[in-house]
Amino acid sequence: MAVDEPTERELRVMPWWLVLVGLLVAVALGWLVLDLLLTEADRASQPDTRATLRIDAIRTGLTVVAGTGGGLALLLAARRQWIAERAQRHQESVAARDQVHRDRVQAHAEAVAEAGQRHQDRQSGAAEHDAAERRLTELYTRAVELLGNDSAAVRLGGLHALERLGQDNPGQRPTIAAVLCAYLRMPAPDGEPRETEVRRSAQRVLTRHLRADDAAHWPELRLDLAGAALVDFDAAGCTLVDANFTEAVFSGVTSFAGAAVRGRLNLGATIFHDVVFDDLAAEAMVVLDETRVGRSASFDRAQFAEGLSCQRATLGGRTSFRRATFHQPTSFDTTRFEDTATFREAVFLSGLSMEHTQFEGSVSFRSARLADMALFRWTMFDAEAVFEQAQFAGAANFGRARFHGMASFEGARFSRPPQVDQARASVDGGHVWPAGTVVERLDDEWLLLVDR
For the chain, give every domain's residue range. Answer: 18-114, 211-450
The reported pLDDT for the residue numbered 240 is 94
- Cα–Cα–Cα angle for 391, 394, 398, nearest 5°? 85
Cα–Cα–Cα angle for 182, 184, 190, rounded to 5 degrees: 115
247 — alpha (psi -120 to 50), left (phi > 0) or beta? left
Region 138-152 average pLDDT: 79
Question: pLDDT tier at 226 (50, 70, 90 boundaries)?
Answer: very high
Per-residue pLDDT, 404: 95
| C-alpha span between 116 and 210 (Å, rounded) | 46
Task: Name which of 194, 313, 210 is nearest 255 in CA terms.
Answer: 210
Q: How many CB atoms lie within 10 A of CB 380?
A: 17
Say whether pLDDT at 133 is over 70: no
pLDDT for residue 45: 53
Choice among 69-78, 205-214, 355-364 with the minimum mean pLDDT: 69-78
Mean of the pLDDT values across residues 113-122?
A: 85
Q: Identify the pLDDT of residue 121.
A: 83
Mean pLDDT, the chain, whole residue set: 87
Q: What is the reported pLDDT for 16? A: 60
Model confidence at 281, in pLDDT bands (50, 70, 90)?
A: very high
Torsional sign, CA 115, 116, 117, 123: positive
Euclidean distance between CA atoms 105 and 99, whole angstroms? 10
- Is the pLDDT higher at 221 or at 349? 349
Residue 1 — very low, low, confident or very high, per pLDDT cuts 50/70/90? very low
Mean pLDDT value of segment 243-260 = 96
Q: Please say if the pLDDT value at position 322 is more than 50.
A: yes
Per-residue pLDDT at 429: 77
pLDDT at 394 over 80: yes
User: pLDDT category, 3, cuts 50, 70, 90?
Assistant: very low
Euclidean distance between CA atoms 280 and 77, whole angstroms = 107
Confidence of residue 13 (pLDDT cuts 50, 70, 90): low
User: What is the structure's pLDDT at 329?
Assistant: 96
**pLDDT > 70: what percent of the chain?**
86
Mean pLDDT computed over 135-148:
74
Q: What pLDDT, in 10s, does the model give residues 39-73?
A: 766 666 566 666 676 677 777 767 777 777 777 77
Average of per-residue pLDDT across 228-236: 95
Query: Which of 113-122, 281-290, 323-332 is the least confident region?
Result: 113-122
Which of 218-222, 254-258, 272-276 is predicted with the least confidence, judged by mean pLDDT?
Answer: 218-222
CATH for 211-450 (2.160.20, 3.40.50, 2.40.50, 3.30.310): 2.160.20
Q: Is the pLDDT of residue 2 over 70?
A: no
Instruction: Identify the top-confidence range among 170-174, 187-191, 198-202, 384-388.
Output: 384-388
Residue 312 has pLDDT above 90, yes or no: yes
pTM over 0.75: no
Q: Percent of the chain beyond pLDDT 90?
A: 52
Q: In which band, very low, low, confident or very high, does the pLDDT at 148 lie, cut at 50, 70 and 90?
A: confident
Please tell me the distance from the alpha carbon of residue 259 to that of residue 262, in angstroms, as a whole number: 10
Instruction: Determine how β-strand 446-450 pairs with β-strand 438-441.
Output: antiparallel
> Is the model more confident about 139 or about 427?
427
> Using 50, 70 and 90 to split pLDDT, how confident is the model at 233?
very high
